[in-house]
Amino acid sequence: MVNLREVIVKAVVEGLRVASILLPPDVKEALRRVYEEEVSPAAKAQLEAVLRNVELAERLRAPICQDTGLITYYVRAGARFPALDVVEEALVEATRIATKEIPLRPNSVDPITGRNPGDNTGRYTPVVVWDSIDPKGDYLEVTIVPKGGGSEYVAVFTMVPPGRGLEGVKEVVLDAVVKAGAMPCPPTIIGVGIAGTVDMAVHLAKKCAVIRKVGSRHPEPAVAELERKLLEMVNELGIGTMGMGGRTTALAVHIDYAYRHPATYAVAVVFQCWAARRATVTIKPTGEYSITQ
Ligand code: SF4
């Protein structure tokens, strides 16, 4: 009988290797497009360096960035997947093995003692988000996101006075982009979450920044239009690639929302850097698995 715990470990180590080394095709395509469109020589030189970096990582099978990130796993599972009970321990083990084998920089640090266990694990680390359960499914899907500290550092959460509504959201986003400057290594992908509670706003913003493909639009036309408008406004700020000016500060603005309480209007902004790493591993009960980006 197939040992699904072993399969999960093997598949996730492989997925982490793919995510750390290969930039997803939608991000690569977007970077190439903005390189072609760039008119500022300084920004164009930076974009050229970024694209060369991406190519070298592929060729040398080396991580795209020296900051190999803190690892988050977004888990979507079918309720009929037969090994749900061992998923979390398998993800921790995969993280330990991948840190040694790829190798990944040991980035997880105890905030109380300052101790670094050296294997990217620790209390609530890697971060495991049980994103959804499909009542009829029998698969396990893990989206692997190794995310750098520079882009996470500039995330913003605030409560907007409910009367300000979407004008308030625009202000929060533009203010966050200006304050972030070059810190998140632009061009970035900006995730915006609007909700009634702090946790939901941050959760939605983070998913928008790290999981949604560049080039996708929110299915609701009004939200899609707000994404388009905000991207235009962000790029008019002129911060540009690595803060060197030029046409592109962000590759995309992705927005999602949840219903709110009449008295609350929670807005979160999460940045993803140009090294927008992700890979999704899908495992069947038979032990077969695939990796997509
Ligand atoms: S923000 Fe991204 S590209 Fe910049 S150093 Fe961190 S991981 Fe690397």
| CB of residue 285 inside a 6 A radius of ligand 1 | no
pLDDT by residue for the chain (293 residues), tens only, comes to 899 999 999 999 999 999 999 999 999 999 999 999 999 999 999 999 999 999 999 999 999 999 999 999 999 999 999 999 999 999 999 999 999 999 999 999 999 999 999 999 999 999 999 999 999 999 999 999 999 999 999 999 999 999 999 999 999 999 999 999 999 999 999 999 999 999 999 999 999 999 999 999 999 999 999 999 999 999 999 999 999 999 999 999 999 999 999 999 999 999 999 999 999 999 999 999 999 99
What are residue 292's DSSP bridge partners? 280
Tell me the one-letter amino acid at 275: A
Instruction: Please determine, looking at this structure, whether the domain spanning 4-20+64-148+276-292 carries the CATH number 3.30.360.
Output: yes
Residue 1: predicted pLDDT: 83
> What spacing in Å lies between the alpha carbon of 276 and ligand 1's midpoint?
9
Nearest CA to ligand 1 atom 3: 275
The tokens of 264 are what? 């609350």
* Number of helical (H) and strand (E) elements in the chain, helices listed first: 8, 9
**275 Cβ inside 6 Å of ligand 1:** yes
Cα(262) to ligand 1 centroid in Å equals 38
CA pair distance 32, 25, nearest whole angstrom: 10
6: helix, strand or coil: helix
Distance 233 CA to ligand 1 centre (A): 23
Radius of gyration of the chain (CA): 19
Pairing of strands 279-283, 289-292: antiparallel
265 alpha carbon – ligand 1 mean position (Å): 30
3-state secondary structure of 292: strand
Residue 125, token pair as written in the block: 């680390």
Burial of 198 (0-12, 13-18, 19+ CB in 10 A): middle
Ligand 1 pocket, residue 273 CB under 6 Å: yes
- Ligand 1 atom with the shortest distance to the CA of 68: 7
Label the pairing between strands 250-257 and 188-195: parallel
Domain boundaries, the chain: 4-20+64-148+276-292, 150-272
- Ligand 1 within 6 A of 150 CB? yes
- Under DSSP, is residue 236 helix (H, G, I), strand (E, B) or coil? helix
Atom from ligand 1 closest to the CA of residue 185:
4
Q: Is 137 in the pocket of ligand 1 (CB under 6 A)?
A: no
Q: Which of 93, 94, 107, 77 is nearest to 18 (CA)?
A: 94
Q: Is the CB of 152 under 6 A from ligand 1?
A: no
- 158 residue type, one letter: T
CA distance linking residue 216 with residue 42, whole number of Å: 29
CA-wise closest residue to 154 among 176, 134, 170? 176
Distance 159 CA to ligand 1 centre (A): 28
User: Is ligand 1 within 6 A of the CB of residue 67?
Assistant: yes
Tell me, using a 6 A CB cutoff, whether residue 242 lines ligand 1: no
